Structure 1
Amino acid sequence: MIPFFGEAAAFTAAFAWAMSSMIFSNIGGKVGAQTVNRGRLACSITCLTILHWVIEGQPWPSSVTWEQFGWLSLSSVLGLVIGDAMLFQAFVMLGARLSMLLMSTVPIMGTVLAWFLFDEVLSLQEMSGIALGVGGILLVILMKKGRPVGLEGRNYVIGILFGLGGAIGQVANLITAKYALIGGYSALSATWIRTLVAVVVMWGIAIAMGRARRTIVACTARDVGKWLMLGAFIGPALGVWLSMVAVQNANVGIASTLMALPPVLLIVYEGLVLRRPVGLQAVIGTAMAFGGVALLFLT
């Protein structure tokens, strides 16, 4: 085996998710958050079908029990439909960096929820990780410097709530999907089914509301379509696959910590590449949030 193969896959997955979040944030400002979400899902199911064909030997899953399908459908509605709808709205309002920072609360929420629901005992390291992560995120969202231009007061709070709503949807998505994966069911097949359910639901709503044609026109525009397909391939397809490779070939704690890097990569990108003023407080807060997540995963 190639040395550090799993760790490299985890870092590449984080890089892919950071890139896709920037792409979706940029085009979402042009055509609208939910238009991008619907288009992204359609592109994602195409990419996942090709990936499933290459990896599993067939374009779609051949077998799934009704119980598994039920859990995966619930996971899809909570995560890909409701959660991602909120996340994409946060992308438009807050930008990629702040939105992905709020998504880093997912492991924190999951740990706290497991404490409440399953009576799991929290170690001192886990409690320290939760405190450090929450403190870092609060440090960033409460600062003035580095906020999107013109986003103040009530609209900023609404954007933060959308970001946290996306994180809550992801936690619910992970918990419900876990029941379907018990017994070793293919994670790639589960991802394909969840994405297909989200496509049916989101496009069904668009058709019922008379927005399907407008979505197709917007998503096939020259300056949108190519970026939408690229973002869908990099994030939901390539990123998901690399995350599975990472977990299979590296220590889960190390892989999960590396895959929590998108907020750090995005703050580096904004500060060094785009030359945007992010502020020392944002750097410290993001580092604290990443440190808190690392403490949780490396317990």
Structure 2
Amino acid sequence: MIPLFGEAAAFTAALCWATSSMIFSNIGGKAGAQTVNRGRLACSIFCLTVLHLLLEGSPWPAAVSWEQLGWLSLSSIVGLVIGDAMLFQAFVLIGARLSMLLMSTVPIMGAVLAWLLFDETLRPIEIAGIAFGVSGVLIVILGKKGRPVGLGGRNYVLGILFGLGGAIGQVANLITAKYALIDGYSALSATWIRTLVAVIVMWGIAILLGRVRRTVTACIAPDVGKWLLLGALIGPAIGVWLSMAAVQNANVGIASTLMALPPVLLIVYEGLVMRKPVGWQAVAGTCLAFAGVALLFMH
């Protein structure tokens, strides 16, 4: 195995998700969030089929045990279907900042569950790396301008619960996928199966709600379709594939810490590329997060 391959895969997955999130946020206002969600899954299964053909020699997985199929289906439902739906609802109720704050608990929960379920142990330098990474993400999220105001009451409580549900869904997604990948099963094949399950569930719901025609019409619009395909290739296809490779080849706690970096990476993009002003909290948090990344790569 290539040294630090799992950690490199996790960090690259974070880069992919940061990039795709910018693409999806731009087209989400044009086509609608749920429409984009269904469209990106359909595009990603197409991209994954092409990748699988090129890299594995067949357009879809050749063989998978019933046990692996069960774990991968469960991973897809709790992560790509339920977890993402809860996170989106948290965005609506309490805003992106608090939602991402709750999602930053994923590495902690992931490390604890991996210790309980897989006997994965972390050295002090790795624990420090996780602590730095999570702290950096928290500082960036809490310090960015434009915090939601007027939050309170029932919607606030529901938003917190949905946000925690999204975080738990992400942890459950990583843990259940690890069970399927534990015998060296292809991460790309696992990603193809998980995505297909999500496509069947999400488009099945669209059929029941009578929203298929509306979704297809919105997704093939000239100013949406090409960006949807690009975002699906970068995020749900390559990014999710790399996340499976990460949990297969690295400790879940380390992998989930590295994959929690998209909000930090987006701050770097805004400051260096878009030339938008960022506060000292964002700079400090970014430096702390990348210090954590460095520690995780030093073990």
Q: TM-score range by the shorter chain?
A: 0.7 to 0.9
In 1, Cα distance between the equivalents of 2:80 and 2:58? 24
Distance 1:194-1:164 versus aligned 2 partners, 3 A rule: same
Q: CA deviation at 1:271?
A: 1.8
Structure 1 counterpart of 2:213: 213
Cα 1:106–1:151 shift into 2, 3 Å:
same
Cα distance change, pair 60–75 in 1 and its aligned pair in 2 (3 A): same
Once residues 222 and 91 of structure 1 are traced to their aligned partners in structure 2, the CA distance between those partners, rounded to angstroms, is 27
Equivalent residue for 1:237?
A: 237
Measured in 2, the distance between the counterparts of 1:115 and 1:202 equals: 33
Identity %: 78
Residue aligning to 2:190: 190
Query: Any gaps of 5 or more consecutive residues in structure 2?
Result: none
Q: What's the offset of the Cα at 1:85?
A: 2.3
CA distance in 2, matches of 1:114, 1:17: 23
**Superposed displacement of residue 161, structure 1:** 5.9
CA contact (8 A) 2:104 2:260 kept: yes
Which residue in the other structure is 1:153 paired with?
A: 151
Within 5 A, what are the aligned runs for 1:1-299? 12-88=12-88, 94=95, 103-115=103-115, 124-125=124-125, 127-129=127-129, 131-143=131-143, 145-147=144-146, 153-154=151-152, 164-241=164-241, 261-292=261-292, 295=295
CA RMSD of aligned residues (A): 4.1
Q: How far apart are the structure 2 equivalents of 1:174 and 1:248?
A: 10
2:11, 2:72 → 1: CA distance?
A: 27
Q: Which moved more, 1:165-174 or 1:56-65?
A: 165-174
**What displacement does 1:6 show?**
9.0
Residue range with higher mean Cα deviation, 276-285 or 235-244: 235-244
What CA distance in whole angstroms lies between the structure 2 residues aligned with 1:111 and 1:253?
A: 4
Deviates more, 1:32-41 or 1:233-242: 233-242
Equivalent-residue separation in structure 1 for 2:111 and 2:259 (angstroms): 17
- Equivalent residues of 1:37, 1:88 under 8 A apart: no
Structure 1 unaligned segments of length 5 or more: list them: none
1:6, 1:246 within 8 Å by CA — same for their partners in 2? Answer: yes
Per the TM alignment, residue 236 of structure 1 is displaced from its structure 2 partner at its CA by 2.2
Q: CA deviation at 1:123?
A: 5.2
